[in-house]
């Protein structure tokens, strides 16, 4: 599992690819905002199990 700090260091593109391609989850809120992907990867059970 990635820590929040590790996720914050990733680029927007890397976060999007991680969520959409690897885990099949959508951003919460604005998809142009890194925090949207960080929040969903922190709260989604599928992402938490896979990390």
User: Tens digits of per-residue pLDDT, 13-51?
Assistant: 999 999 899 888 888 889 999 999 988 877 765 555 544
Instruction: Please tell me the pTM assigned to this model.
Output: 0.76
What letter would DSSP give residue 4?
A: H
Q: What pLDDT, on the 0 to 100 scale, is given for residue 51?
A: 47
Q: Let me know: does 13 contact 2? Beta carbons within 8 Å.
A: no
Whether pLDDT at 2 is above 50: yes
Close Cβ partners of 33 (under 8 Å, ≥ 6 residues apart)? 27
Nearest C-alpha neighbor of 28 from the set 40, 46, 41, 16: 40
Average pLDDT score over residue span 2-16: 92
């Amino acid at each position: 599992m990635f820590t929040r700090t590790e996720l914050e260091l990733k680029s927007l593109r890397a976060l999007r690819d991680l969520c959409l391609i690897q885990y099949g989850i959508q951003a919460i809120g604005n998809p142009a905002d890194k925090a949207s992907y960080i929040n969903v990867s922190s709260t989604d059970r599928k992402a938490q199990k896979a990390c």
